[in-house]
Amino acid sequence: MTAPLPHLAPPPARIDRSFLQDVIAGLRAPQKSLSAKYFYDRRGSELFEAITRLPEYYPTRTELAILDRYGPEIGAGLPPGAALVEFGSGSTTKVRRLLPHLADLGAYVPVDVSAEFLRSEAEELGRDFPRLRIEPVAADFTKPFDLPDDLKDAPKAGFFPGSTLGNFEPEMAAGLLASFARTLGAGATLIVGIDLVKDKAVLDAAYDDAAGVTAAFNLNLLTRINRELGADFDLDGFAHQAFFEENLGRIEMHLVSRRSQLVTVAGIPFHFASGETIHTENSYKYTVPGFRALARTAGWEHARVWTDPDGLFSVHALTA
């Protein structure tokens, strides 16, 4: 019996084929890339939570402050008895800030891909808001999905906080907003959180923090691919890079190969030149008029905008 080579991890028992296909296609492209949606395994979600508490990462705390301060106004703009649909509800931290101002809510409909997480979060929310009707929907909000039948006649409101829209190319972002309009129907209101364009130094620091948490978050994608797809990325062979690309209005995150090297994913070799990068995330930043224009192309009228005193972040109310 020959012992297996120590750097060759045994192939994982069950491989997610679509994850594998996405990774192979991404690494075969001239500009190698990986989808940001794969950041969020258990460890990645923990690291993102840690990012939201970093001194440099202003978006989360600023958006929460806006929701706290203007919650009554935001709530007053929603139709009475509305069903509030949250696209990608995750840990429900944000909606908890709004719910106290929405006395007249018909139902809360958290939509999330992770059915298990969705169920446990909905249960916990139900304990804290016992009079609230909660109707979780397990679905990928980037694809069309149906709302529960018994909410057909209720007026609808949508909630899409966290500047998650910034992860999508502007054209895709408009497509997503248009699909929210179709899901919610005529007369709906949509509340969206959008990070704003600002000084490059502030943006760069928010995505390249001194404690190295964002670097760990970025590199965790390779750890995940090693474990789930039987790859052999050497974590010391790649470095975190993040910068605001002013011409494109977006933060780009990359993993930079520190040397010329060969990496194997599910038995397929990929060569990396020294300095070559894997593009792992875009985070688009908007101006208020820029976001307004984007929303209009998707069929939404701009109703209101709320920002913090420093103009770092914005929460918009749109009407269909």
Neighbours of 11 (CB within 10 A): 11
Query: Which residues between 3 and 32 bind ligand AVJ (CB under 6 A)?
Result: none
| Rg of the chain (C-alpha set) | 21
Cβ-based nearer residue to ligand AVJ, 78 or 195: 195
Cβ-based nearer residue to ligand AVJ, 163 or 314: 163
Q: Does 283 bind ligand AVJ (CB under 6 A)?
A: yes
Q: Does 214 bind ligand AVJ (CB under 6 A)?
A: yes
Q: Does 189 bind ligand AVJ (CB under 6 A)?
A: no
Dihedral angle computed from the Cα positions of residues 304, 96, 134 and 50, in that order, rounded to the nearest 10 degrees: 110
Cβ-based nearer residue to ligand AVJ, 163 or 189: 163
Cβ-based nearer residue to ligand AVJ, 86 or 281: 281
Among 44, 59, 110, 158, binds ligand AVJ (CB under 6 A): 59
- Helical spans, DSSP H, in the chain: 17-28, 42-52, 59-76, 93-98, 115-128, 170-184, 200-206, 213-229, 288-297
Are 271 and 27 a contacting pair, CB within 8 Å? no
What residues have CB less than 8 Å from 102, skipping those under 6 apart? Answer: 75, 78, 84
As given in the structure block, the two tokens for residue 196 are: 């704003």
CA distance linking residue 179 with residue 163, whole number of Å: 17
Q: How many CA atoms lie within 13 A of 31 on its CB side?
A: 7
Q: x/- contact string, 149-168, with ligand AVJ (CB under 6 A)?
A: -------------xxx-xx-
Q: Does 44 bind ligand AVJ (CB under 6 A)?
A: no
Q: Does 207 bind ligand AVJ (CB under 6 A)?
A: yes
Cβ-based nearer residue to ligand AVJ, 133 or 198: 198
Mapping DSSP to helix (H, G, I), strand (E, B) and coil, where does residue 193 land? strand
Q: Does 277 bind ligand AVJ (CB under 6 A)?
A: no
Are 95 and 121 a contacting pair, CB within 8 Å? no
Cβ-based nearer residue to ligand AVJ, 62 or 183: 62
What number of chain residues touch ligand AVJ (CB under 6 A)?
A: 11
Cβ-based nearer residue to ligand AVJ, 148 or 311: 311
Q: Does 170 bind ligand AVJ (CB under 6 A)?
A: no
CA distance linking residue 299 with residue 179, whole number of Å: 10
Q: Does 193 bind ligand AVJ (CB under 6 A)?
A: no
Among 20, 34, 51, 315, binds ligand AVJ (CB under 6 A): 51
Fill in the DSSP letter of residue 251.
Answer: E
Nearest to 238 by CA among 214, 218, 266: 218
State the nearest-atom distance from the C-beta of 266 to ligand AVJ, in Å. Answer: 26
Q: Does 219 bind ligand AVJ (CB under 6 A)?
A: no
As given in the structure block, the two tokens for residue 41 are: 């395994």
By CB under 6 A, name the binding residues for ligand AVJ: 51, 59, 162-164, 166-167, 207, 214, 281, 283
